Amino acid sequence: MTYRAVVITISDKGSTGERVDTSGPGLRSMLNKTYDVTEVVVIPDETELIAETIRDQVDRKGVDLVVTTGGTGVGPRDVTPEATRMVMEKDLPGFSEIMRMESYRITPFALISRAVCGIRRQSIIVNLPGSPKAAAECLSFIEAALPHALEKLKGDPSECAR
């Protein structure tokens, strides 16, 4: 089964054309190997808009995987985790934990990431950093587990043990 994914870039400057989004297209390229990436959306750092965009992608468009990039740091406009928590029904802390742990091996700045991952309905939401390099690295740390998590989420009754 091919799952559908969307990439949401959260960037004030990207949404107004002041900065070219390279994180979103880079993630799309990575995800296209496994998923049908329906679109890359660029929106500003606005809590309600982020939450509504995620809801729309999951509830109305039926996307299986929502990947956000940007807004996960400690800056005044970094609100992606708060918006994601507004729409999540369940937490997936292992994804966020491994991304921070593996990123810390690369840079101590990984500790300031507030990225969260979770579930809404039968879809997974993953927050990634805004930096193209960091976003690709973080996705690479969890990409092997994502298809299995989606299978389980959608009701696969098989055993997880190998």
Question: Residue 63 pLDDT more than 70?
Answer: yes
In a domain, 161, yes or no: no
| CATH number for the domain harbouring residue 76 | 3.40.980.10
Examine residue 49 and state whether it is found in any structural domain, yes or no.
Answer: yes
CA distances from 134 to 30, 69, 70, 123, 137 (A): 13, 10, 10, 23, 5
Tell whether 162 is covered by a domain: no
Q: What secondary structure letter does DSSP report for 118?
A: E
Closest CA to 2 of 150, 160, 128, 161: 150
Q: How many domains does the chain have?
A: 1
Does 161 score more than 80 pLDDT?
no
Q: What is the pLDDT of residues 90-132, one digit of tens each?
A: 999 999 999 999 999 999 999 999 999 999 999 999 999 999 9
* Residue 162 confidence class, pLDDT cut points 50, 70, 90: low
- Whether residue 160 is contained in a domain is answered as no
Asked if 121 contacts 58 with a C-beta cutoff of 8 angstroms, the reply is yes
Q: Is 94 helix (H, G, I), strand (E, B) or coil?
A: helix
The residue written with tokens 């190998």 in the block is 162
Q: What is the DSSP string of 15-80?
A: HHTSS---HHHHHHHHHTTTSEEEEEEEE-S-HHHHHHHHHIIIIIT--SEEEEES--SSSTT--H
Domain extent for 109:
4-153
First to last CA, the chain: 21
CA 5 to chain centre: 10
- Would 159 be classed as within a structural domain? no
Mean pLDDT of 20-35: 97
Note whether residue 56 is domain-resident: yes
User: What confidence category does residue 49 fall into, taking pLDDT thresholds of 50, 70 and 90?
Assistant: very high
Whether 130 is covered by a domain: the verdict is yes
Task: Classify residue 8: in a domain, yes or no.
Answer: yes
